[in-house]
Structure 1
Amino acid sequence: MQAIFDASLVIAHRRRALAQATPGADFLMARAAEDLGERLSTVERKFTRGAAIFSVSPAATAVLAASGKVDELLRVEADRAFLGGGPGVVSDPETIALDPASIDIAVSLLALQEVNDIPGQLIQIRRALKPDGLFLGVLAGAGTLVELRESLLAAETELSGGASPRVIPFTDVRDAGGLLQRAGFALPVADVETVTVRYDTMFGLMQDLRAMGATSALADRSRRPATRRLFQRAAEIYAERFSDPDGRVRASFSFVWLSGWAPDASQQKPLKPGSAQVSLTKVLGEDGKQ
């Protein structure tokens, strides 16, 4: 399978962001962590061992700890720097160094969108879960940075007659639900939430993306350096197409949430067609009306 992302560049971007530690740059992660807490609060059970997978931030394990529902916590990261000196496991970014059936809850915050093999990683998570173990994850989905994508594409086409991808592709919520099924999760659910952030200019957005470690790490990226003229024209197009009456511009971020359970015989399953013990006709009457 051809790699979509340069995994070493993904790590380099995140290491740089972590080293700079720009105050407030983690606002999307903070939002994702808050949402995780709300979703976890609706789960009425306790877990013995949980893992936060490739989330870089300690926010995921902090939410699990604060819930009081997980006895033991583990972080799995692609680089030791992401562990911040704390305990955890360092693993290849395309592989999860967890034994089969070793955890009963796994969470992933804003990491899966830069994985080359999302189905493969979901399968690994499902295998690491004990029967009836829970996976909760969120990734940036289709619609994320659509304004930036369009502005850069239009500017580069105008200036050079062609364009290279400068914003990564994102997964649609419908495809995400299918990925959970392919990975073998039971009771899969995928839903989407759009967050709109406003900036004075496109350059404010780009500064935040760099501070998040979220600039493009495409393997097939253009090797030609982007020019100041390109970015200036893109900022003009961005302001023309995506500004509010007060002159500020919008940036969209789509959170695609995934949840699924490792299969277990105790879980509810839909009845097979024709397996009902009482016919609908008998319930409603022979004419089909009550």
Structure 2
Amino acid sequence: MSSGLCLRVLRGSGSAPAASSGSWSRFLSRSGARRGLSGSNSGTMNVFNREMKKRQKNWAGSLQDGQQYDYLRDEVGSRVADRVYDIARTFPLALDLGGGKGHIAEHLSQEVVERLFLTDGSEETLKQRRKSEIPTRCVLADEEFLPFKENTFDLVVSSLSLHWINDLPGALKQIHQVLKPDGVFIGAMVGGETLYELRCSLQLAETEREGGFSPHVSPYTAVTDLGNLLGRAGFTMLTVDIDEVQVHYPGIIEVMTDLQGMGESNCAWNRRSLLHRDTILAAAAIYKEMYGSEDGSVPATFEILYMIGWKPHESQAKPAKRGSATASFGDLSKISQPTNSNKS
């Protein structure tokens, strides 16, 4: 764990950080932490219990052997970092939103990112922040209420935190606001097909043993909605792609144990907090029967949605005006291809 100043900026707190934070404090907004830069979030969907998610992540962050559960975040964090390297520029100031222990930052160099703000809603997770060569300041803040001034960052990255946000359109709008013009947002979040094996096994077992089922896996965003959400938030030059990470476990108990250790347990308001022993045993048998491998292990599939969006700037390439083309697609069909002559 690397040392450094941890700024406490929580929802409902309107005070600025202590003067000891130095020049870093000039990037923080006095009002942003209270209601978010985009204003009130009244009327938005309230699917997740954010306080419970914070407790889950604090519990996971306090585990002495917590590093053994970081494999998924490490893998996805490295893939987000690869996308940062694909952009041939240096970013003077970047924000890692929901960055936890620094799963992206540890793969970046100061040649790419000169300074970094690392935020998370879990204080215990931030205490486990890993070493990085990039000068970093951590901020304890709710991802739904960014405490930063507009036009602050050249780069915003996020890995595996946006899928727990109630107001995703509002969060994307806030990310857009804190970016400078021509700044870029690179993020990764869990997609709708994640853990379909676990979800199906639990539903079948509950239906069989209890005559009905309730959700035990949180709802996730579909990839078909992501581009539209980014466009509505104001981003341009969008890129959205899907990746799958499949992990094999001895059984369903190990799947659920690791999800808990990651801080990824269900926190939806309509979740059922108790699973009967008979239901778990039935789900374990169904899991192995439907999805089990020849070696006896069971797979858990994580669908990861990657997104890249740019804040508009006059220097960016723009599409040509409608009707300005000098040739039509119909003309292309009239172009004859040269034929090879027969040589005897």
Q: State if a TM-score over 0.5 links the two structures.
A: yes
Contact 2:62 2:125 in 1 (8 A): no
Determine the structure 1 residue equivalent to 2:124. Answer: 81
In the TM superposition, residue 273 of structure 1 has moved relative to its aligned partner by: 2.3
Determine the structure 1 residue equivalent to 2:90. Answer: 46
Contact 1:5 1:217 in 2 (8 A): yes
Superposed, which structure 2 residues align to 1:131-210 within 5 Å?
131-210=181-260
Determine the structure 2 residue equivalent to 1:110. Answer: 160
Q: CA 1:234/1:288 → structure 2, altered by over 3 Å: closer, same or farther?
A: same
With the length of structure 1 as denominator, give the TM-score of the two structures: 0.93
Superposed, which structure 2 residues align to 1:1-290 within 5 Å?
1-20=44-63, 21-64=65-108, 66=109, 68-84=111-127, 87-223=137-273, 225-276=274-325, 278-280=326-328, 288-290=334-336
Q: CA 1:282/1:245 → structure 2, altered by over 3 Å: closer, same or farther?
A: closer
In the TM superposition, residue 59 of structure 1 has moved relative to its aligned partner by: 1.8
With the length of structure 2 as denominator, give the TM-score of the two structures: 0.79
Cα separation, 2, equivalents of 1:163 and 1:254: 23
Q: What is the letter of the counterpart of residue 194 of structure 1?
A: E
In the TM superposition, residue 42 of structure 1 has moved relative to its aligned partner by: 1.1
In the TM superposition, residue 58 of structure 1 has moved relative to its aligned partner by: 1.4
In the TM superposition, residue 151 of structure 1 has moved relative to its aligned partner by: 0.5
Q: In percent, how many aligned pairs have the same letter?
A: 33
Q: What is the letter of the counterpart of residue 68 of structure 1?
A: E
Contact 2:58 2:123 in 1 (8 A): no
Q: RMSD value over aligned CA atoms?
A: 1.9
In the TM superposition, residue 26 of structure 1 has moved relative to its aligned partner by: 0.4
Contact 2:74 2:104 in 1 (8 A): no
Contact 1:36 1:63 in 2 (8 A): no
Deviation digits for residues 220-275 of structure 1 (CA, Å, limit 9, x no counterpart): 2225x211111111111101101112221111001100111111111112223212
Contact 1:194 1:253 in 2 (8 A): yes
Cα separation, 2, equivalents of 1:67 and 1:33: 17
Deviation digits for residues 43-94 of structure 1 (CA, Å, limit 9, x no counterpart): 1011110010112221222233x26211111112223333218732222342
Cα separation, 2, equivalents of 1:145 and 1:139: 14
Cα separation, 1, equivalents of 2:67 and 2:151: 38
Contact 1:155 1:237 in 2 (8 A): yes
Contact 2:101 2:128 in 1 (8 A): no
Contact 2:215 2:271 in 1 (8 A): yes
SS state at 2:92 partner:
strand
SS state at 1:163 partner:
coil
SS state at 1:88 partner:
strand
Cα separation, 1, equivalents of 2:123 and 2:95: 16
SS state at 1:59 partner:
coil
Q: Which has the larger radius of gyration?
A: 2
Cα separation, 1, equivalents of 2:298 and 2:124: 34
Gaps of 5+ in 2: 1-43, 130-136, 337-344
Count of matched residue positions in the alignment of Structure 1 and Structure 2: 285
Cα separation, 2, equivalents of 1:85 and 1:207: 20
SS state at 1:24 partner:
helix
Deviation digits for residues 189-233 of structure 1 (CA, Å, limit 9, x no counterpart): 11000111111111111111011011100112225x211111111
Cα separation, 1, equivalents of 2:285 and 2:198: 11
Q: CA 1:275/1:248 → structure 2, altered by over 3 Å: closer, same or farther?
A: same
Contact 1:167 1:216 in 2 (8 A): yes
